[in-house]
Structure 1
Amino acid sequence: MNTIKVGIIGCGSITRFRHAPEYAENPYVDEIVFYDRHVERSKALAEEFGGRFVVSVEELWNDPEITAISDCSSNENHHLNTSEALRNGKHVLCEKPLAVSVDKAEQILEAQQKSGKKLMVDHNQRFTKAHQKAKELIASKELGEVLTFKTSFGHQGPEHWGVNKSNSTWFFKKERSHSGVAGDLGVHKIDLIHYLLDDEITDVHSFTGALDKVDENGKPIEVCDNVVCALKTQKGRLGTASFSWTYYGSEDNTTTIYCEKGILKIYHDPENQLIVETKDGEVIQYQLEPIQTNDNQTKTGVIDAFIDAIIQDKEPVVTGKDAVSSLKVLEKILQ
């Protein structure tokens, strides 16, 4: 397989800390072409990562040498950019959530089916060693069937992470982020529960609120900064989930799975990322790898998996269909 050229749309923090460095390290990628509405951003990243930049998105579509595109634009543009890239014969890795609504996500899936190209969505929690090991243990039924679960994802908020490090972040804007913390952090955990349990969340009761965050004018933000919900899956498992931009201490990215013969604790302990406690008192600790946080950027494995799917011509680890099933839950949470 020859090396491939990749285009990236949107040059914010997610590109700078995750997509660009991981493409730069991938042996099959020989050039990264950056596009952002703010040319100075794409120019800066092209310099930092030794790629080049273009001044219009059409240049990415029209370049026959570009095989794949990362869509790192803000949420409201995913259905436009990702669909257009697919229609132009590019494989696409789209940031999550796939779109701001299930309807718009379906448009992307339609474009993908017509194009025959790969579509992968960046639900990166599937790629951590602790989550993969937990899935293996759950599937083996060593602890019996899963009964209940609880999961959490919270940190101090996107204004500490976003490209402009301020309250003017697009994450706080209804017309751009659409779903607030639910689409930023929550959708990751919805996808994770689907993945771990090989199941789907069907019923949702949720509370959402803009409890603390304010925009650049000091007004409460238009999207939720906290979500707490009760969930039920197709197979009858019950669970709870909390997503927050107001955990003003260390980040919480924990999940607990309660089975018939014991429990799995994931990312509760910084040293032992997976702990199994059995009904009869046995404790098994797995030291696997620390979870990636906004302060601790480690390789996600997402880019390598995307490139691998293209080169090996196989189905991506997270498909558009997977992303739509998470988006359906997201819509129920926000109703």
Structure 2
Amino acid sequence: MSKLRIAVIGCGSIAKYRHIPEYAGNPNVELVAFCDPVLERAESFAAIYGARAYQDYKKLLEEVKPDAVSVCTPNSLHAPVSIAAANAGAHVLVEKPMAASETEGLAMIEAAKSNKVVLMVGHNQRLMPPHVKAKEILDSGRLGRVLTFRTSFGHPGPEGWSVDGRESWFFRKEEAIMGAMGDLGVHKADLIRYLLNDEVAQVAAFIGTLDKPGADVDDNAVCTLRMRSGVIGSLVASWTYYKGEDNSTVFWCENGVMKIGAQDGDQVIVELRNGTEERYKVGAISTNDKQESSGVIDAFVQAVVTGERPIIPGEEGLSSLRVILAAFESQATGRIVTL
């Protein structure tokens, strides 16, 4: 089998730490092109992998004709780049949030369908080992019905992660569209939908900019969610957890409680009402400071190679995006928003 010819569009931190090394580690892949408005970034990766460097993604698609692309651009470009790639016949892995609006998300899904290419969204939280284990436990029914939950994702902000630091596009609304909610909140909306195998029915949210001077996007959000099944819970996204990252989820259920990523060392803890306790060390949740393989790249490559539906298709990315968009609507109107 000939190797998949991959182009990476956008050469910032998510490409540097996740996409590029994970493609390089996949035996079915050849990295053939890199694109970034700062040409030197694309050139540095091109030199390592014997690939071509571009500033213009349209020119890349036309000249290189890659089999597949990773879209690692600022959020505002996710839809235009993904649609252009699909129209060029390339399979697409796009970072989250998949789009800036529902209309854009639907257009991306349609472009992938009409061109018969894979569209997958990089919601890596589903593939983190503690979350895989948590889903297995929930699906087993041992905890009974989930009644309430809280899920939180916070860190000190993108200035410590982005290649541009405090000058990053993450802080500019025109490019980022949304702040902590697009960076972190959409991950947890996706995770809750996935773990509960349920959809969000209603959202009430407080979203604001509390402590990032000069940022014109949100740095904090606290949301209350009601699922279709009746389960209620809270979702928190923050760029002001200055003492370190928190990516934890707790489910309170009929028969006990399950804590995920809430204590160091034990990634999943189950405490049953009958007094028994189970602790699982199943592998870490990736953090900005300590990168773990996301599993997203291998899953995308497998979907392209086998022709199977990707594990996180565009439709799933759109459902998670809708939750975030509803939260912004709630903040703007002061109302509970029904999806």
Tell whether the 8 Å contact from 2:100 to 2:177 is kept in structure 1 after alignment.
Answer: yes
Counterpart in the other structure of 2:333: none
Query: Which 5+ residue runs of structure 1 have no aligned equivalent?
Result: 216-220
**More displaced 10-residue stretch of structure 1: 250-259 or 46-55:** 46-55
What is the CA–CA distance in structure 2 between the aligned matches of 1:170 and 1:30, rounded to whole Å?
A: 29
- Do structure 1's residue 272 and structure 2's residue 266 form an aligned pair? yes
**1:43-92 alpha-carbon deviations (Å, 9 max, x no partner):** 11223445332343233322465110000111001110001101111100
What is the CA–CA distance in structure 2 between the aligned matches of 1:179 and 1:95, rounded to whole Å?
A: 14
What is the CA–CA distance in structure 2 between the aligned matches of 1:38 and 1:91, rounded to whole Å?
A: 24
Tell whether the 8 Å contact from 2:58 to 2:84 is kept in structure 1 after alignment.
Answer: no
Equivalent residues in 2 for 1:92-241, closer than 5 Å: 92-166=92-166, 168-215=167-214, 221-241=215-235
Tell whether the 8 Å contact from 1:270 to 1:290 is kept in structure 2 after alignment.
Answer: no
What is the CA–CA distance in structure 2 between the aligned matches of 1:55 and 1:178, rounded to whole Å?
A: 22
Report how far residue 299 of structure 1 moved. 0.7
Report how far residue 23 of structure 1 moved. 0.5
Report how far residue 103 of structure 1 moved. 1.1
What is the CA–CA distance in structure 1 between the aligned matches of 2:276 and 2:2, rounded to whole Å?
A: 50
Counterpart in the other structure of 2:15: 15
Tell whether the 8 Å contact from 1:33 to 1:46 is kept in structure 2 after alignment.
Answer: yes
Counterpart in the other structure of 2:336: none
**1:240-298 alpha-carbon deviations (Å, 9 max, x no partner):** 01110000112000000111101110011221100111011111000011111000011
Report how far residue 18 of structure 1 moved. 0.7
**1:103-158 alpha-carbon deviations (Å, 9 max, x no partner):** 11111111111111100000000001110111111111111111111000000000
Q: Name the TM-score, length of structure 1 as normaliser.
A: 0.96
Matched position secondary structure for 2:247: coil
**1:204-261 alpha-carbon deviations (Å, 9 max, x no partner):** 111011000013xxxxx21110000111001111000111000011200000011110
Tell whether the 8 Å contact from 2:65 to 2:88 is kept in structure 1 after alignment.
Answer: no
- Do structure 1's residue 302 and structure 2's residue 301 form an aligned pair? no
- Do structure 1's residue 91 and structure 2's residue 91 form an aligned pair? yes
Tell whether the 8 Å contact from 2:31 to 2:49 is kept in structure 1 after alignment.
Answer: no
- Do structure 1's residue 70 and structure 2's residue 70 form an aligned pair? yes
Query: Which 5+ residue runs of structure 2 have no aligned equivalent?
Result: 330-339
Tell whether the 8 Å contact from 2:68 to 2:91 is kept in structure 1 after alignment.
Answer: yes
C-alpha distance 297-51 of structure 1, shift in aligned 2 (>3 A): farther
Counterpart in the other structure of 1:328: 322
Aligned length: 329
RMSD between superposed Cα atoms in Å: 1.2
What is the CA–CA distance in structure 2 between the aligned matches of 1:28 and 1:109, rounded to whole Å?
A: 25
What is the CA–CA distance in structure 2 between the aligned matches of 1:255 and 1:49, rounded to whole Å?
A: 39
Tell whether the 8 Å contact from 1:179 to 1:334 is kept in structure 2 after alignment.
Answer: no
Instruction: Give every structure 1 segment of 4 or more consecutive aligned residues whose post-TM-superposition deviation is greater than 4 Å.
Output: none
Counterpart in the other structure of 2:29: 29
